[in-house]
Each structure stands twice: as structure tokens, then as C-alpha cells.
Amino acid sequence: MTREELDRLVDQYLHKTFDEIEDTLALEWSEAGLIQYSGDLNDRAHELSAALSFTDVDAAMDLAREMAPGASIDGLRKLARRLIEVQLRGIIATLKALSGEPLERPLIAPPPASQAAPQATLRLSELAQQYGDERVARKSWSARTEFQVRG
């Protein structure tokens, strides 16, 4: 699995997660319900944080296999870890929103930059030589002008 494929899958999951968060926050909640929900989210955040700190990605491996069925085991482990990171990020954003802060939706990642090799830039002397050659080829310069300018 290439990095671009991994980034694309994680971005899709991230945006889907925040769509679900937005739907959840739009529900009518009782005060007791919000307190219970916040507590459950807090517990889940601790579980996810522990999984990340111990590199335990088993909890997200099934989801990773579902999202990338043909990926290698290393690719699946990378994807699973990043999915756990997204889940934790979503929980943190939800808890902040429940405490009165605005929900900060993630920005859409820009498309990867083209991998084309950068073109070599010409030196001024090379550019001047090309300019002079072009003028001579077009017969824009007389022999005397060429002698004076190139000199």
C-alpha cells in the first residue's frame, strides 16, 4: 500500500467520522445523557491512547482489512494505527464540542505534489548564449551586432 493510498483511506475515514460526530451533536440530549456520553467518550479516549502508546492496533485491524482487503500485514498495521489516531482525534473534538467549543472539522488534504523531477535552471551565460544563437538563426542580428553583443 503506497503512502498516497494510505492517506486517501485515512482522509475518507476522517471525514466520515466527523460527519457522524456532527450528526450526533445535532441530536436532542438531556443533561444526564450528555454527562453519560461524555464519560463514555472519555473512557474510550483513554483506551485508544493506551492502544497507541503500546502500539496495539488489534482493535482496528478488522476495520483496516475491510478498508484495504489486499494490503500487506505491514500496510494493514499502518492503516489500523492511523484509524485509531482518527478515532482519538474525533473523540477529542467531540468532547471539546460538548464543552461549548465549536466543532473543528478537518481540512481536506491537498492532492499530493507531482513527483516530476525539477527542471534544471540555466545559468545566465547559457541563457545569453541561447538568446544570441536564436537571434543569429532568425537573422535578427548582423555579424557586427553579434560580435558586439557576444563580446
Structural domain span for residue 38? 3-98
Query: What's the pLDDT at 113?
Result: 58
Give the pLDDT confidence score for residue 111 in this predicted structure.
56
Q: Is residue 145 part of a domain?
A: yes
**CA–CA separation, 22 and 2 (whole Å):** 30
Q: Is residue 39 part of a domain?
A: yes
Residue 78 lies in a domain: yes
Q: What is the pLDDT of residue 34?
A: 92
Residues 79 and 1: beta-carbon distance below 8 Å: yes
Residues, the chain: 151
Asked whether residue 91 falls in the same domain as residue 37, the answer is: yes
Task: Give the pLDDT confidence score for residue 125 in this predicted structure.
Answer: 82
Count of domains in the chain?
Answer: 2
> Of 7, 18, 148, 149, which Cα lies nearest the Cα of 75?
7
Model-wide pTM > 0.75? no
**Sequential pLDDT tens for the chain (151 residues):** 899 999 999 999 999 999 999 999 999 999 999 999 999 999 999 999 999 999 999 999 999 999 999 999 999 999 999 999 999 999 999 999 999 999 988 876 565 555 556 667 878 888 888 888 888 888 888 888 888 887 6
